[in-house]
Amino acid sequence: MFYTANLKGNLALLPRLFTLIQQQRDDALVFLLDLGDTCSLDAWVCRTTQGRAPLLVLDSMGYDAAIIGGPEAVSIPVSSLRQLVDTIMMPIIIWGRVVRLAKRGVSFNIASGEAVLPEGEPGVLIDRSTQALPARNAPFPTLGDVPQGQLARVELSWPEWTVLDARIVELSAEIQPDPTIGAIVELVEAEAHHYAQQRGER
Protein backbone atom coordinates (compact mmCIF):
# COMPACT_ATOMS: atom_id res chain seq x y z
CA MET A 1 0.00 0.00 0.00
CA PHE A 2 1.25 3.49 -0.94
CA TYR A 3 -0.25 6.73 0.32
CA THR A 4 0.27 10.47 0.05
CA ALA A 5 -1.24 13.67 1.48
CA ASN A 6 -0.83 17.45 1.53
CA LEU A 7 -0.61 18.03 -2.21
CA LYS A 8 -2.20 21.47 -1.63
CA GLY A 9 -2.76 22.08 -5.34
CA ASN A 10 0.90 21.65 -6.32
CA LEU A 11 0.26 19.97 -9.67
CA ALA A 12 3.88 20.51 -10.77
CA LEU A 13 4.91 17.92 -8.18
CA LEU A 14 2.79 15.13 -9.64
CA PRO A 15 4.82 14.06 -12.72
CA ARG A 16 7.86 13.44 -10.51
CA LEU A 17 5.74 11.79 -7.82
CA PHE A 18 4.34 9.41 -10.43
CA THR A 19 7.89 8.46 -11.46
CA LEU A 20 8.69 7.69 -7.81
CA ILE A 21 5.55 5.57 -7.46
CA GLN A 22 6.43 3.61 -10.58
CA GLN A 23 9.97 3.05 -9.29
CA GLN A 24 8.62 1.70 -6.00
CA ARG A 25 6.10 -0.67 -7.57
CA ASP A 26 6.96 -4.34 -7.89
CA ASP A 27 4.97 -7.42 -8.84
CA ALA A 28 2.93 -7.28 -5.64
CA LEU A 29 -0.61 -5.90 -5.53
CA VAL A 30 -0.54 -2.19 -4.66
CA PHE A 31 -3.31 0.06 -3.37
CA LEU A 32 -2.53 3.76 -3.90
CA LEU A 33 -4.36 6.25 -1.65
CA ASP A 34 -4.37 10.00 -1.05
CA LEU A 35 -5.35 10.98 2.49
CA GLY A 36 -6.41 14.56 1.81
CA ASP A 37 -5.41 18.23 1.61
CA THR A 38 -5.22 17.95 -2.16
CA CYS A 39 -6.08 21.65 -2.43
CA SER A 40 -5.22 24.97 -0.84
CA LEU A 41 -6.87 28.39 -1.10
CA ASP A 42 -3.45 29.72 -2.13
CA ALA A 43 -3.46 27.56 -5.29
CA TRP A 44 -5.24 29.29 -8.19
CA VAL A 45 -6.02 25.97 -9.89
CA CYS A 46 -7.92 24.85 -6.78
CA ARG A 47 -9.93 28.07 -6.55
CA THR A 48 -10.79 28.06 -10.26
CA THR A 49 -11.85 24.41 -10.45
CA GLN A 50 -13.42 24.33 -6.97
CA GLY A 51 -10.99 21.63 -5.87
CA ARG A 52 -11.36 19.27 -8.83
CA ALA A 53 -8.07 19.76 -10.70
CA PRO A 54 -5.66 17.82 -8.43
CA LEU A 55 -8.09 14.93 -8.11
CA LEU A 56 -8.41 14.69 -11.89
CA VAL A 57 -4.64 14.23 -12.11
CA LEU A 58 -4.56 11.71 -9.26
CA ASP A 59 -7.18 9.71 -11.12
CA SER A 60 -4.99 9.66 -14.23
CA MET A 61 -2.07 8.47 -12.07
CA GLY A 62 -4.00 5.35 -11.09
CA TYR A 63 -4.89 6.23 -7.50
CA ASP A 64 -7.35 3.74 -6.04
CA ALA A 65 -9.09 6.30 -3.82
CA ALA A 66 -8.78 9.83 -2.43
CA ILE A 67 -10.16 11.12 0.85
CA ILE A 68 -11.73 14.58 1.11
CA GLY A 69 -13.39 16.59 3.85
CA GLY A 70 -10.94 15.81 6.63
CA PRO A 71 -8.85 18.20 8.72
CA GLU A 72 -8.09 20.42 5.71
CA ALA A 73 -9.58 23.89 5.54
CA VAL A 74 -10.58 23.65 1.86
CA SER A 75 -13.67 21.66 1.03
CA ILE A 76 -15.19 20.82 -2.36
CA PRO A 77 -18.70 22.23 -2.93
CA VAL A 78 -21.36 19.56 -3.41
CA SER A 79 -22.05 20.61 -7.01
CA SER A 80 -18.35 20.42 -7.84
CA LEU A 81 -18.06 17.04 -6.12
CA ARG A 82 -20.94 15.66 -8.18
CA GLN A 83 -19.30 16.87 -11.37
CA LEU A 84 -16.01 15.29 -10.31
CA VAL A 85 -17.54 11.91 -9.43
CA ASP A 86 -19.19 11.78 -12.86
CA THR A 87 -15.81 12.43 -14.53
CA ILE A 88 -13.32 10.12 -12.82
CA MET A 89 -12.98 6.41 -12.10
CA MET A 90 -11.21 6.79 -8.74
CA PRO A 91 -13.55 6.55 -5.71
CA ILE A 92 -13.83 9.68 -3.58
CA ILE A 93 -14.06 8.84 0.12
CA ILE A 94 -15.81 11.34 2.38
CA TRP A 95 -14.06 11.84 5.72
CA GLY A 96 -15.77 10.12 8.63
CA ARG A 97 -17.21 7.23 6.64
CA VAL A 98 -16.26 3.58 6.21
CA VAL A 99 -15.61 2.52 2.62
CA ARG A 100 -14.61 -0.87 1.24
CA LEU A 101 -11.95 -1.09 -1.47
CA ALA A 102 -11.32 -4.17 -3.58
CA LYS A 103 -8.82 -5.13 -6.24
CA ARG A 104 -7.80 -8.47 -7.72
CA GLY A 105 -9.49 -10.51 -5.01
CA VAL A 106 -8.16 -8.44 -2.09
CA SER A 107 -10.57 -6.21 -0.17
CA PHE A 108 -10.39 -4.12 2.99
CA ASN A 109 -12.22 -1.29 4.76
CA ILE A 110 -11.01 2.28 5.25
CA ALA A 111 -12.24 4.32 8.23
CA SER A 112 -11.39 7.94 9.00
CA GLY A 113 -12.38 10.42 11.68
CA GLU A 114 -14.90 8.94 14.13
CA ALA A 115 -15.85 6.06 11.83
CA VAL A 116 -15.45 2.56 13.27
CA LEU A 117 -14.09 -0.39 11.29
CA PRO A 118 -16.23 -3.54 11.14
CA GLU A 119 -14.96 -6.27 13.44
CA GLY A 120 -13.46 -9.37 11.94
CA GLU A 121 -12.65 -7.76 8.58
CA PRO A 122 -9.34 -6.34 7.28
CA GLY A 123 -9.15 -2.58 7.50
CA VAL A 124 -7.04 0.54 7.96
CA LEU A 125 -7.64 3.61 10.09
CA ILE A 126 -6.79 7.12 8.86
CA ASP A 127 -5.44 9.43 11.58
CA ARG A 128 -4.00 12.63 10.15
CA SER A 129 -3.25 14.06 13.60
CA THR A 130 -0.04 12.02 13.60
CA GLN A 131 2.76 11.30 11.13
CA ALA A 132 3.50 7.95 12.72
CA LEU A 133 3.80 4.99 10.38
CA PRO A 134 1.69 1.86 10.96
CA ALA A 135 3.02 -0.33 13.75
CA ARG A 136 4.00 -3.90 13.03
CA ASN A 137 1.36 -6.52 13.87
CA ALA A 138 -1.31 -3.91 14.68
CA PRO A 139 -4.82 -5.41 14.26
CA PHE A 140 -5.90 -2.33 12.28
CA PRO A 141 -2.95 -0.45 10.73
CA THR A 142 -3.19 3.32 11.19
CA LEU A 143 -2.11 5.54 8.32
CA GLY A 144 -0.82 8.89 9.54
CA ASP A 145 -0.22 12.16 7.74
CA VAL A 146 2.44 12.44 5.03
CA PRO A 147 4.32 15.68 4.20
CA GLN A 148 4.11 17.00 0.66
CA GLY A 149 6.66 15.36 -1.63
CA GLN A 150 6.86 12.11 0.31
CA LEU A 151 5.41 8.67 -0.32
CA ALA A 152 4.49 6.30 2.51
CA ARG A 153 4.99 2.63 1.67
CA VAL A 154 3.42 -0.08 3.83
CA GLU A 155 3.87 -3.78 3.10
CA LEU A 156 1.03 -5.98 4.36
CA SER A 157 0.61 -9.74 4.35
CA TRP A 158 -2.59 -11.28 3.00
CA PRO A 159 -4.87 -12.72 4.26
CA GLU A 160 -3.30 -12.23 7.71
CA TRP A 161 -3.38 -8.43 7.20
CA THR A 162 -0.18 -7.94 9.17
CA VAL A 163 2.21 -5.02 8.69
CA LEU A 164 5.53 -6.41 7.47
CA ASP A 165 7.29 -3.10 6.83
CA ALA A 166 6.50 0.63 6.80
CA ARG A 167 8.68 3.47 5.63
CA ILE A 168 8.72 6.92 4.02
CA VAL A 169 10.23 7.30 0.56
CA GLU A 170 11.55 10.78 -0.25
CA LEU A 171 10.99 12.47 -3.60
CA SER A 172 14.59 13.36 -4.43
CA ALA A 173 15.64 16.12 -6.82
CA GLU A 174 17.15 13.52 -9.18
CA ILE A 175 13.79 11.95 -9.99
CA GLN A 176 12.65 12.96 -13.47
CA PRO A 177 9.04 13.88 -14.28
CA ASP A 178 6.88 11.38 -16.13
CA PRO A 179 6.08 12.92 -19.55
CA THR A 180 2.55 11.50 -19.76
CA ILE A 181 1.50 12.88 -16.37
CA GLY A 182 3.29 16.12 -17.25
CA ALA A 183 1.10 16.43 -20.36
CA ILE A 184 -2.04 15.72 -18.31
CA VAL A 185 -1.08 18.44 -15.82
CA GLU A 186 -0.61 20.89 -18.70
CA LEU A 187 -4.03 19.96 -20.09
CA VAL A 188 -5.76 20.33 -16.72
CA GLU A 189 -4.11 23.72 -16.13
CA ALA A 190 -5.04 24.91 -19.65
CA GLU A 191 -8.65 23.92 -19.05
CA ALA A 192 -8.57 25.71 -15.70
CA HIS A 193 -7.25 28.90 -17.37
CA HIS A 194 -10.00 28.67 -19.99
CA TYR A 195 -12.64 28.15 -17.31
CA ALA A 196 -11.30 31.13 -15.34
CA GLN A 197 -11.46 33.36 -18.44
CA GLN A 198 -15.06 32.35 -19.10
CA ARG A 199 -15.97 33.36 -15.57
CA GLY A 200 -14.08 36.67 -15.87
CA GLU A 201 -11.42 35.68 -13.34
CA ARG A 202 -7.78 36.69 -13.55
Beta strands, E only, 46-162 = 65-68, 92-94, 98-103, 106-112, 123-126, 142-143, 150-156
Average pLDDT, the chain: 92
Global pTM reads 0.93
pLDDT digits (tens, 9 = 90+) for 125-149: 999 999 999 988 877 899 999 999 9
| CB-based contact 142:117 (threshold 8 Å) | no
More confident residue, 72 or 80: 80
The string of pLDDT tens digits covering residues 43-54 is 999 989 988 999
| pLDDT attached to residue 73 | 60
pLDDT tens sequence across 13-65: 999 999 999 999 988 899 999 999 999 888 999 989 988 999 999 999 999 99
Is the peptide bond preceding residue 15 cis, with omega within 30 degrees of 0?
no
Q: Sign of torsion, CA 11 16 22 24?
A: negative
Q: How confident is the model at residue 201 (pLDDT cuts 50, 70, 90)?
A: low
> How high is the pLDDT of residue 74?
61
Centroid of chain to Cα 19: 15
The answer for residues whose C-beta is within 8 angstroms of residue 173's C-beta and 6 or more apart is none
Using a pLDDT cut of 70, give the percent of the chain over it: 97
Q: Give the burial class of 23: count Cβ atoms within 10 A of its Cβ; 0-12 exposed, 13-18 middle, 19 or more buried.
A: exposed
